[in-house]
Each structure stands twice: as C-alpha cells, then as structure tokens.
C-alpha cells in the first residue's frame, strides 16, 4: 500500500483528483470505479473544475459506481444516481450510456447485482477504483463480516452506517436497510485502487485498514491484498497510524519520490 499523508483535507482532495485526472490523461477511455459519500463531493467538484478549465476530459471514460440503495429509483433525491448526476455527470454533460450504477429499484436485486458484476467484466474491468471508507471500515457497502471474496450482491446496512448516512435524508425519511454493492473481490480485481479518507472520524478505521490484521471485521483491510492500492489521507485521518513517521519519510507531504 502506498500511504500519502497530506497536510489538510483540501490538499488530500486535490491529490486524489490529480490521480484521477492523470489516469484519464494517460488513458482517456479508462474504466473508472466511482464512490459516493461526503468525502467525494469536493473530489467531483475539483474534477468538474479541471474539466471546465480544459485540463482533463471525462467524455471518453466509462464508469461503474460502487453501490446503490435498494428500493430507491434513480430519480429519488437521495439515490446515488441523483448524487452522481448532480455532482459529476450532469455538470459535465456526460453520455448516460457510459455511466453505470446498480438499479436500486430492480424487481430482483440479487439478479441485478449479478448482472452488474458481469457488466463490469464485459467492460474490461476497472482501471482505477475510487473508494471512501466508513467509520466502521466498510468500503462500498461491504459492512463488517463481509466475505473478502464477495462478488457484487445485496448487503444489509448496519445501524451505524444508516445513522451516519441519515444526514443526507430528510427528517421524515428512512434510510434504506439494504444496498447493492460491488463485492470485495470485485473491488480487488480493479487494476488500481485509490482510497481517500479525511477527518478524525476516520482515523481508527484507517489504522485498522492499513495496519490491522487482514480481517472481515474491517472490510477495507482487504486492500492489503490489492497489488496497487494508494491511500490518500489528511493528518487527522492519519492520526492513529503507528508507522506514520515511516509513511511520511517515504512520501514527504504525500509526494511521489524517486529512488536515488
Ligand atoms: C457510504 C458509501 C461509501 C462511502 C462511505 C463514507 O455509505 N457507501 O462508499 O465511502 O459511506 O462516506 P462519507 O464520505 O460520507 O463519510
């Protein structure tokens, strides 16, 4: 794992956006795996700014989002379809045929999950998978106890996750109990993964992911098996890493370093 520790959340967001932009500059038709959540909002704002400035184009990429709530149709204001449409796909006028999310309103969510997993394979697999992390160590909606070999499937959300995500829903709305999520095996098949975490609320999950045992207790720890995983952190999210000094020596201020 490559651990990049940036001085503040804005610098971590910019570093993450830069990695995505660089991938698209090198491979304009890349297949991106995309994430949602509060952490990703400034990343998408940064990408929109870069695209509008002509620094990068997302027009030829294909995307597959990690997850969607079961029961929410795409047009639901709290669906991840709407999240992506408002923050990235709409502002950039991207071709909807190239942007994919699981259908939360599918008649049979299990069949939809299997279809989605197969569609990722048919697209050639994911070149760059963007990830956030839940306070309980989840990636996508792979909650603790998820099989580290899991395919895309339906998962029951923990009460901790439903409470954390209640802030996106109105006071009279219930956070869905289930989601379709890319599995951990699906995520591990990506050719490169970049996980962004900012803020003190992620510090213990980040430490468990990077330095804890490989365990379904912290699903993000499965990234220890990924051959090319980069973890981009601000100092607060990095606060509980025991080997922090080492990571900062290897990558001062989160920069790449050359041998020699
Ligand atoms: C959500 C999403 C994840 C996201 C995580 C953290 O529930 N399913 O993909 O990484 O929880 O979200 P946030 O960035 O809002 O803390």
b or e along 85-114 (b: 16 or more beta carbons within 10 Å of the residue's beta carbon)?
Answer: bebbbebbebeeebbbbbbbbbeebeebbe
Q: Where are the alpha helices (DSSP H) in 54-200?
A: 80-84, 90-92, 109-122, 159-165, 184-188
The answer on pLDDT for 148 being more than 70 is yes
Supply the pLDDT for residue 155.
Answer: 98
Active-site residues, by number, are 67, 136, 138, 143
Centroid of ligand 1 to alpha carbon of 207 (angstroms): 17
With tokens 């998962």, the residue in question is: 155
Length of the chain: 260
**Cα(175)–Cα(166) distance, rounded to whole angstroms?**
6
The answer on pLDDT for 217 being more than 80 is yes
Quick one: average pLDDT of 89-106?
97
- Nearest atom, ligand 1, residue 161 CA: 7
- Tell me what the pLDDT averaged over the chain comes to: 97
The answer on pLDDT for 8 being more than 80 is yes
- Nearest atom, ligand 1, residue 179 CA: 8
Quick one: average pLDDT of 79-101?
97
What 3-state DSSP class applies to 191?
coil
Centroid of ligand 1 to alpha carbon of 37 (angstroms): 4
What 3-state DSSP class applies to 9?
helix
Quick one: average pLDDT of 137-159?
98
Supply the pLDDT for residue 53.
Answer: 97
Assign 256 a pLDDT band (cuts: 50, 70, 90).
confident
Assign 193 a pLDDT band (cuts: 50, 70, 90).
very high
Residue 11 contacts residue 254 (beta carbons within 8 Å): yes
Assign 162 a pLDDT band (cuts: 50, 70, 90).
very high
Assign 97 a pLDDT band (cuts: 50, 70, 90).
very high
Domain limits, the chain: 2-254
Q: What is the pLDDT of residues 20-30, one digit of tens each?
A: 999 999 999 99
| Sheet of strand 178-181, all strands in order from the earlier edge strand to the far edge | 67-69, 178-181, 153-156
CA neighbor of 56 nearest in space, from 44, 68, 66, 65: 44
CATH of domain 2-254: 3.40.50.1360
Centroid of ligand 1 to alpha carbon of 36 (angstroms): 6
């Amino acid at each position: 794992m490559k651990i990049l520790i940036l001085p503040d959340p804005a610098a971590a967001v910019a570093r993450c956006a830069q990695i995505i932009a660089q991938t698209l500059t090198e491979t304009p038709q890349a297949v991106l795996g995309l994430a949602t959540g509060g952490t990703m909002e400034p990343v998408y704002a940064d990408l929109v700014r870069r695209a509008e400035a002509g620094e990068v184009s997302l027009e030829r990429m294909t995307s597959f989002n990690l997850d969607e709530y079961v029961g929410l149709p795409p047009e639901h204001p709290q669906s991840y379809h709407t999240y992506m449409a408002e923050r990235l796909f709409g502002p950039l006028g991207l071709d909807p045929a190239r942007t994919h999310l699981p259908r939360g309103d599918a008649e049979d969510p299990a069949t939809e999950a299997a279809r989605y997993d197969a569609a990722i394979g048919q697209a050639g697999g994911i070149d760059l998978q963007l990830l956030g992390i839940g306070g309980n160590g989840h990636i996508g909606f792979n909650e603790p106890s998820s099989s580290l070999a899991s395919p895309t499937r339906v998962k029951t959300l923990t009460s901790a996750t439903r409470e954390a995500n209640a802030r996106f829903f109105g006071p009279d709305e219930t956070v869905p109990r289930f989601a379709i999520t890319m599995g951990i095996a699906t995520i591990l098949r990506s050719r490169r993964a970049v996980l962004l975490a900012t803020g003190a609320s992620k510090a213990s999950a980040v430490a468990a992911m990077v330095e804890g045992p490989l365990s379904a207790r912290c699903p993000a720890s499965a990234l220890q098996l990924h051959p090319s995983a980069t973890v981009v952190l601000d100092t607060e999210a990095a606060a509980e890493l025991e080997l922090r000094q080492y990571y900062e020596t290897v990558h001062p201020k989160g920069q790449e370093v050359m041998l020699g």
